[in-house]
Amino acid sequence: MYPNVDITQFTQSAKAVQKLFKDATAISAKIANDPVFAKQLMEKAQQSKQEDVQIQLQSIGIESEIKKISFNPNTIHITLSPKKGESPCCQLTFFLYWR
């Protein structure tokens, strides 16, 4: 009827996304607990300094690759993926509202 399933890639993706969640938590904790950091990040985003925003986020010490960052007057969107050289098995995108 249906073929047997192979969960190998599925479970590897689930394990990899746990690292992405850890880094997303580090980013959100830094923003939540460091008002100077949060203000600088918003100012850079408001000025459309994409590269500066990325550098500031990476300065937190996350292990994941920041695949994409975008922002608008209401939110910042951050997409994380496994670091370069690792299997591109998953991505995590989260939005933080600032208005």
Would you say residue 85 has pLDDT above 90? no
The pTM (predicted TM-score) of the whole model is: 0.90
* 38 occurs within a structural domain: yes
* 17 occurs within a structural domain: yes
> In degrees rounded to 5, what are phi and psi of residue 74?
-110, -30
Q: What is the mean pLDDT of residues 61-88?
A: 92
> What integer best gives the mean pLDDT of the chain?
94
Query: Smallest Cα–Cα separation from 96: which of 81, 79, 80, 74?
Result: 74
* 47 occurs within a structural domain: yes
Q: What is the mean pLDDT of residues 27-54?
A: 96
Q: What is the mean pLDDT of residues 28-54?
A: 96
Q: Which residues, 6+ apart, have CB-to-CB distance to 38 below 8 Å?
A: 31, 32
* 2 occurs within a structural domain: no
Structural domain boundaries enclosing 28: 8-97
Q: How many CA atoms lie within 13 A of 90 on its CB side?
A: 15
* 3 occurs within a structural domain: no
* 1 occurs within a structural domain: no
What is residue 88's predicted lDDT score, i.e. its pLDDT?
85
* 71 occurs within a structural domain: yes
Q: Percentage of the chain surpassing pLDDT 90? A: 85
Positive or negative torsion for Cα 11, 84, 61, 90: negative
Angle, nearest 10°, between helix axes 50-58 and 35-46?
Answer: 160
Q: What is the mean pLDDT of residues 70-87?
A: 91
What is residue 86's predicted lDDT score, i.e. its pLDDT?
81
Domain total in the chain: 1
Would you say residue 87 has pLDDT above 90? no
Distance of CA 71 to the CA centre of its chain: 13
